[in-house]
Amino acid sequence: MRLNPIDGILYLSMKMAKAFDRRDTDLKYFGPDKVKSILVVSSTAIGDTLLSTPAIKAVRERYPDAKIIAHLNRSNMELFENNPHIDGIIPYYGGYKRFFKTIRDFRKHKFDLALIFHGNEPQATPMAYLSGANFIVKLPNTSEYNFLLSNQGAIIENNGPVHGIEQRLKIAALVGCDSKDKRMVLPIENKDEEAVSDFLKNQGVGDDNILIGFQVGASTVSRVWFADRFIELGRKLVSAYPDLKIIITGSPGEKDYCDEIARGIGGGIIVTAGKLSLKQAPALMKQLKVLVTGDTGVMHIAVAAGTSVVALYAVADYRITGPYYDTEKHQVIQKWKTCDPCISKKCEYQKCMENISVDEVFNAVTDIMGRKGAKV
């Protein structure tokens, strides 16, 4: 049942447009040699877009001379402005905001091909179609807008846990991109490294300090560990490692929450919320020995930066969104859903996260760090 009448109007409009479309848009008519302009869509959260970067790299390697324009979420696209495999970004504003303006911007590029790696429906597929692209590819191809896709023939679902990186590489493979490189692409600029280094020095961080990060927030309550457990973990780590400094990361809107946890741990805790930009987050992650985090965009930034993570999972499944390479560097603590049915993003109390104890997170951190020099 459609609650938004615009959704219904859009659906009927797309049905009518497709009925009169006489182009040969099935993949069997696809000719790689004719591709000069490509739209890649990954317009959701930070982590989702980072998971798309190996596939975008694969597209660039297969189509080195094509113009590649990315459709990314306005709130996080600054992270990807220096991605070497894209030639420009058209922002996604959310829902139907600037819907027609975005389509007009799409049409200026005369796309031959649109690849939807991860996008919000019901906007993503219709917008790709209205861009004028002859061929549109998406997996899984099970949505109500399947009829607009060039790979609408055989219905392909994700059977079992398929990692997001693999899912996106499968999309790229449908148009001839054969890549085995699973690594996310997130270049770090010198100016950001310098800014982070200066910030840490001003906060009293010296060369002998060990830096551990706590990402205490998440996009949904169901992915957040508890403040009192971060506080207890922080106290145990500070007691065990005399040279340790804890960096608490978060968005500007999470500053008060981060400050609360910092006060609970005690003196010498550094809160970066509202003090460093999103663009500087990769440089900060690179400075850490380990990051303790739920299933968050910051976790993916840390993995991309080469930093070890202790990843806390319950509602989410690490096999789909967890660290996918350099796995020997990371520790994943996976618990499973305790409520049936699970309401996931609508959860107001993360009961399943209660199953993750302070001791097992502490042990995971010390396993990564090594116990040398620790007063355990």
The tokens describing 206, both together, are: 């010296």
Among 146, 173, 200, the domain boundary falls at 173
Quick one: 114 and 80 in the same domain?
yes
Q: Contact, 49 vs 20, CB < 8 A? A: no
Q: What is the mean pLDDT of residues 142-152?
A: 93
Query: What is the number of structural domains in the chain?
Result: 2
Mean pLDDT of 260-278: 95
Q: Model confidence at 347, in pLDDT bands (50, 70, 90)?
A: confident
Q: Is the pLDDT of residue 51 over 70?
A: yes
One domain for residues 236 and 312: yes
Query: Torsions phi, psi of 334, nearest 5?
Result: -110, 120
* Phi and psi based region of residue 41 (left: phi greater than 0; alpha: psi -120 to 50; beta: remaining): beta
For residue 180, being part of any structural domain is answered with: no
Q: What is the pLDDT at residue 373?
A: 43
What is the layout of strands, in order, in the sheet containing 244-249?
270-271, 244-249, 210-215, 290-294, 308-313, 331-334
The share of the chain scoring above pLDDT 90, in percent, equals 85
- What integer pLDDT is reported at residue 310 of this predicted model? 98
Task: Please calculate the CA angle 229-269-189 and round it to the nearest 5 degrees.
Answer: 110
Instruction: Determine the average pLDDT of the residues in 348-362.
Output: 91
pLDDT(145) > 80: yes
Query: Which sign does the torsion angle of CA 13, 19, 24, 27 carry?
Result: positive
Are 169 and 30 members of one domain? yes
Q: How many helices (H) and strands (E) does the chain have?
A: 12, 11
As beta bridge partners, residue 136 has 114
What's the whole-model pTM score? 0.94
Shared domain for 105 and 212, answered yes or no, is: no
Question: Confidence band (pLDDT; 50, 70, 90) for 158?
Answer: low
pLDDT beyond 80 at 263: yes
Angle between helices 227-240 and 358-369 (to 10 degrees): 40
Give the per-residue pLDDT at 219.
Answer: 86
Indicate whether 79 pLDDT > 90. Answer: yes
Instruction: Judge whether 294 and 226 are in contact, CB under 8 Å.
Output: no
The phi and psi torsions of 169 (rounded to 5 degrees) equal -65, -30
Q: Same domain for 55 and 25?
A: yes
**In the predicted structure, residue 296 carries a pLDDT above the cut 90:** yes
Reduce the DSSP state of residue 109 to 3 states and report it.
coil
Distance CA 59, CA 69 (A): 11
**Chain-wide mean pLDDT for the chain?**
93
Of 41-55, 238-252, 303-317, 339-353, the least confident: 339-353
Q: Is the pLDDT of residue 279 over 90?
A: yes
Is pLDDT above 50 for 250? yes
Res 159: pLDDT = 67
> Is 375 a domain residue?
no
Q: Does 98 score more than 90 pLDDT?
A: yes
Residue 271 is part of which domain span? Answer: 190-369
pLDDT band, residue 17 (cuts 50/70/90) = very high
* Domain final residue pick, 173, 205, 237: 173
In the chain the first and final C-alpha atoms are separated, in Å, by 57
